[in-house]
Amino acid sequence: MNPVKVGLLGLGTVGGGTVNVLKRNAAEIARRAGRGIEIIHAAARDLDKPRICDTTGIKLTTDPNEVVNNPDVEIIIELIGGDGLARTMVTQAIEQGKHVVTANKALIAKHGNEIFALAQQKGVMVAFEAAVAGGIPIIKAIREGLAGNDIQWLAGIINGTGNFILTEMRDKGRDFDDVLKEAQALGYAEADPTFDVEGIDAAHKLTILASIAFGIPLQFEKTFTEGITTISREDVAYAEELGYRIKHLGVARHTEKGIELRVHPTLIPERRLIANVDGVKNAVLVMGDAVGPTLYYGAGAGAEPTASAVVADLVDVVRALTSDPENRVPHLAFQADALANDPILPMEEVETAYYLRMAAQDKPGVMARVTSILGDHEISIEAIIQKEPVAEGEFANVIMLTHKVQEKQMNQAIAKIEALDSINGPVKRIRMEVLDSNK
Ligand code: NDP
Ligand code: HSE
């Protein structure tokens, strides 16, 4: 049988990695797919730029339209990024009855609902394994491997750049900006790296994971997002003293009131495996009612780990080319007409435990006032440590861990504590998750 002809949009980190993996493993891939897979046409902005891959035998252009409109191309791989040109090209490809493979989480999280509806109408597949957690086959695991479960919650380190920065800062005391530059040089970071450090990229990915876990439409705009730029070395050290690690987590939880969808720095007990996931590695912990907790771990970014997921999607698409569209795995795991409309909870209604750090005057009665405010808001304290002030008359750092409470209560309590004369500056708050087997 003739090889399947593929068009590639983007020859950067992931595009280059994809060309390399497809070439190197061509024989194994053909044995799995049942046919060879050949990239015949590719687009990039600058054709003179040095590439990480050998493009011999591939027709090159600066115009992605030429690739999409090439009548010989059956599958389009979109690896340009963003939701402008990429969205136009993906839509155009689907309109022409071409299947699409993409690593673009921004595109899927923001426009996936309409893209999948169009794809279903046209009977084509849109595969996006590489969009979440790089090389970890997490979409397939949740969508297919856990299809028998009622998924209760999931929590993941789903941004490689952010985890790389936090790890290097903690282990080697390196500066934030310096590590970010290295992540960019290694091809981990997004075109706009604020997406990585402010949690937007993780929110894109969490949106996708929540949809396939709970069978809800993609709702990126309702995801709560807090980045890692405010995490200080002293918080990392205090957390460790208390037996915790700070990780940038995406958490999605199905509660009776609705669905929590949130990305924020989080204290996790250091004995949890996920607390020990370092560098560019990602990990996603998924709790199913039947299977219990399962953990998926691997490289979250980079050329070949991401290409591994892109090529797996290509193989899936090639295997399904002749199957009836009705019998394919649904894009969002649940049948399109069976998606639920559970509400996404506003952050004020979410319940978590908290780490609090405040600078307090070292004199009698101060702690009594703080604990009385917490008590008034039904916040109970699990642990408290007070550090010696650096010099006499200076403020002392007080660190508290609380039991679970609604975010609204905590917001009100923090506002009152910050208004006390005996408290200096803002109260630092980091949410905590125990990530045990409970709902
Ligand atoms: P790069 O910036 O490395 O590559 C983007 C490619 O698109 C480049 O080859 C660029 O051309 C090409 N391109 C951009 N604009 C145009 C245009 N107008 N016309 C033609 N070509 C264009 O990005 P990545 O490979 O890192 O990321 C690609 C996608 O994969 C993104 O959606 C990203 O979020 C996602 N992703 C990235 C991961 C990673 O580790 N990097 C991991 C998982 C997903 P040129 O090279 O000439 O500039
Ligand atoms: N910028 C992303 C990250 C790429 O660092 O995780 C992988 O999606």
| Domain residue limits, the chain | 4-135+303-338, 138-299, 351-432
Residues in the ligand 1 pocket, defined by CB under 6 Å: 10-15, 43-46, 49, 62, 64, 79-81, 85, 103-105, 130, 134, 187-188, 190-191, 301-302, 306
Q: For residue 324, is pLDDT > 90?
A: no
Residues 6+ apart with CB under 8 A from 96: 68, 69
Averaged over 216-239, what is the pLDDT? Answer: 95
Query: Quick one: how far is CA 256 from the chain centroid?
Result: 24
Angle of CA points 288, 125, 189, to nearest 5°: 70
Please answer whether residues 90 and 102 qualify as being in contact, where contact means their C-beta atoms are separated by less than 8 angstroms: yes
For residue 107, which atom of ligand 1 is closest to its CA?
32
Average pLDDT score over the chain: 96
Residues 6+ apart with CB under 8 A from 243: 269, 270, 271
Domain 351-432 architecture: 2-Layer Sandwich (3.30)
Q: What is residue 164's predicted lDDT score, i.e. its pLDDT?
A: 97
Q: For residue 323, is pLDDT > 90?
A: no
- Reduced to 3 states (helix: H, G, I; strand: E, B; else coil), residue 281 is strand
Torsion angle of C-alpha atoms 29, 30, 33, 39, degrees rounded to 10: 80
Q: What is residue 220's predicted lDDT score, i.e. its pLDDT?
A: 98
Q: What is the pLDDT of residues 249-269, one digit of tens each?
A: 999 999 999 999 999 999 999
Q: What is residue 401's predicted lDDT score, i.e. its pLDDT?
A: 98
Q: For residue 82, is pLDDT > 80?
A: yes
> How many Å apart are CA 138 and CA 215, to the nearest integer?
16
4-135+303-338 and 351-432 agree in CATH topology: no
Ligand nearest to the CA of 300: 2
Ligand nearest to the CA of 165: 2
- Which one is catalytic: 205, 247, 281, 428? 205
Rounded percentage of the chain residues whose pLDDT exceeds 90: 93
Q: What is residue 325's predicted lDDT score, i.e. its pLDDT?
A: 86
Q: For residue 389, is pLDDT > 90?
A: no
Q: What is the pLDDT of residues 357-369, one digit of tens each?
A: 999 998 889 999 9
> How many Å apart are CA 241 and CA 173, to the nearest integer?
17
Residues in the ligand 2 pocket, defined by CB under 6 Å: 134, 159-161, 188-190, 196, 201, 300-301
Q: What is the pLDDT of residues 127-178, one digit of tens each?
A: 999 999 999 999 999 999 999 999 999 999 999 999 999 999 989 989 899 9
Q: For residue 438, is pLDDT > 70?
A: no
* Amino acid letter, residue 160: G
Please answer whether residues 298 and 305 qualify as being in contact, where contact means their C-beta atoms are separated by less than 8 angstroms: yes
Rounded percentage of the chain residues whose pLDDT exceeds 70: 100
Q: Can you identify the CATH homologous superfamily of domain 138-299?
A: Dihydrodipicolinate Reductase; domain 2 (3.30.360.10)
Q: At the top level of CATH, which class does the domain 4-135+303-338 belong to?
A: alpha beta
363 is catalytic: no
For residue 119, the tally of other CB atoms under 10 A from its CB is: 22
Averaged over 62-66, what is the pLDDT? Answer: 98
Averaged over 397-410, what is the pLDDT? Answer: 97
Query: Do β-strands 423-432 and 405-406 pair in parallel, antiparallel, or remain unpaired?
Result: unpaired
Q: What is residue 326's predicted lDDT score, i.e. its pLDDT?
A: 84
